[in-house]
Amino acid sequence: MSSVKIKSALISVYYKDNLEPIVKLLAANGVQIFSTGGTQKFIEDLGVSVTPVEEMTTYPSIFGGRVKTLHPAIFGGILYRRELEDDVKTASEYNIPSIDLVIVDLYPFEETVASGASESDIIEKIDIGGISLIRAAAKNYKDVLIVSSREQYGQVEEILASKNCSTDIEDRKLFAAKAFDISSHYDSAIFNYFNESQNQKVFKQSVREGSVLRYGENPHQEGTFYGKLDEMLEQLNGKELSYNNLVDIDAAVNLIEEFDETAFAILKHTNACGVATASTVKEAYEKAFAADTLSAFGGVLITNKKVDLAAAETMHDLFFEVLIAPDFDADALELLKGKKNRILLKQKIQLTAKKQYKSLLNGVIEQDRDLKTDSLSDLKTVTRRQPTDTEKNALIFASKIAKHTKSNTIVLANNGQLFSSGVGQTSRVDALKQAIQKAKVFGFDLKGSVMASDAFFPFPDCVEIANEAGIKSVIQPGGSIKDQDSIDFCDKNDMAMVFTGVRHFKH
Span 4-19, average pLDDT: 94
Q: Are the C-beta atoms of 212 and 224 separated by less than 8 Å?
A: yes
Q: Which residues, 6 or more positions from 351, have their beta carbon under 8 angstroms from its beta carbon?
A: 232, 253, 254, 257
The band of 171, judged by pLDDT with boundaries at 50, 70 and 90, is very high
The band of 62, judged by pLDDT with boundaries at 50, 70 and 90, is confident
Query: Is the Cα torsion angle 477, 483, 489, 492 positive or negative in sign?
Result: positive
**pTM recorded for the entire structure:** 0.87
Half-sphere exposure of 420 (CA within 13 A, CB side): 21
**pLDDT per residue as tens digits for the range 73-131:** 888 999 999 999 999 999 899 888 999 999 999 999 999 999 999 999 999 999 999 99
Query: Is the pLDDT at 311 greater than 70, yes or no?
Result: yes
What distance in Å separates the CA atoms of residue 492 and residue 505, rounded to the nearest whole number? 29
Query: Is the pLDDT at 1 greater than 70, yes or no?
Result: no
Half-sphere exposure of 481 (CA within 13 A, CB side): 0
| pLDDT of 69 | 76
Half-sphere exposure of 43 (CA within 13 A, CB side): 26
| pLDDT of 453 | 97
Among the options 7, 125, 139, 163, which is catalytic?
A: 139
Q: What is the DSSP string of 374-397?
A: --GGG-EE-SSSPPPHHHHHHHHH
Distance of CA 143 to the CA centre of its chain: 38
Whether omega for the bond prior to residue 244 falls within 30 degrees of 0, making it cis, is no
Mean pLDDT of the chain: 95
The band of 2, judged by pLDDT with boundaries at 50, 70 and 90, is confident
Alpha helices by DSSP H, listed for 96-142, are: 109-114, 119-124, 129-139
Q: What share of the chain is helix, strand, coil (3-state, %, to 5)?
A: 40, 20, 40
185 an active-site residue? Answer: no
- φ/ψ of residue 345, rounded to 5: -125, 135
**pLDDT per residue as tens digits for the range 242-290:** 999 999 999 999 999 999 999 999 999 999 999 999 999 999 999 999 9
| pLDDT of 70 | 79
| pLDDT of 417 | 98
228 an active-site residue? Answer: no
**For a pLDDT cut of 70, what percent of the chain falls above it?**
100
Query: Is the pLDDT at 64 greater than 90, yes or no?
Result: no
Q: Which residues, 6 or more positions from 265, have their beta carbon under 8 angstroms from its beta carbon?
A: 252, 255, 256, 272, 274, 275, 288, 301, 302, 303
Query: Is the pLDDT at 394 greater than 80, yes or no?
Result: yes
The band of 60, judged by pLDDT with boundaries at 50, 70 and 90, is confident
**Which amino acid belongs to residue 344?**
L
Among the options 269, 339, 440, 506, which is catalytic?
A: 269
Span 156-175, average pLDDT: 95
**pLDDT per residue as tens digits for the range 209-233:** 999 999 999 999 999 999 999 999 9
DSSP label at residue 115: T
| pLDDT of 68 | 72
